[in-house]
Structure formats: structure tokens, C-alpha cells
Amino acid sequence: MGGLRLTRRGRLALVVLVVSLMAALGVLTGLRSAGAAEPARVVTVEAGQTLSQIAAAELPDYSISAGIVAIQLENGLSTAQVSAGQRLMIPEG
């Protein structure tokens, strides 16, 4: 049986793709049902703070990976790297 075998990197890429698609679908669904969107909250990144920590604290109803993607989409970020003093918009969750 010649089943498809994915490398570790391939599995990671697949997971990131699925999470990104789910987050994008959630954002689109939220925009459609929102009518007049509420303004996003803004947080300032503290020294040593990671995007994972911010996602966990600010979007507790999301998985951490989905929260990271939602914050990245809201702020136009292409990576999960943040800097102290950076202001991030947190989507309504």
C-alpha cells in the first residue's frame, strides 16, 4: 500500500495551511455577520512578550495557533515576530 507519507516539515505546512484557512473563513464569516464592526482593541507588546502569549491572553476562545493567525491577519503581519512597544489590534473574538 503506497500511502502518502509526509515529512515533519510537510505536516507542519499542512497544519499551518488548515489553520490559516479556518481563520480566514472565521474572519470572513464574522465580517459578514457583524454589520457595523466594533473597533478592535489595541495592546502594546511588553518586553519579552510573544505573539503566542498575547493570543492566549487576548483571544482565550481561540486555539493559540488560530489566535496568532487572527492577530497576524488583523495587523498585516507576515511572521509571528513582535517587538516591545509594538501596538497590535486584537480582533473581536
Task: Name which residue leads in pLDDT, 49 or 39.
Answer: 49
Q: What is the pLDDT of residues 57-67, one digit of tens each?
A: 999 999 999 99
User: What sign for the dihedral angle of Cα 29, 23, 88, 56?
Assistant: positive
Task: Name which residue leads in pLDDT, 4 or 76.
Answer: 76
Half-sphere exposure of 32 (CA within 13 A, CB side): 6
Average the pLDDT over each of 37-41, 71-75, 85-89 and give the range with the smallest value: 37-41
Extents of the domains making up the chain: 8-90
Hey, what's the torsion of the CAs at 18, 22, 27, 29, to 10 degrees? Answer: 140
Q: Whole-model pTM?
A: 0.59
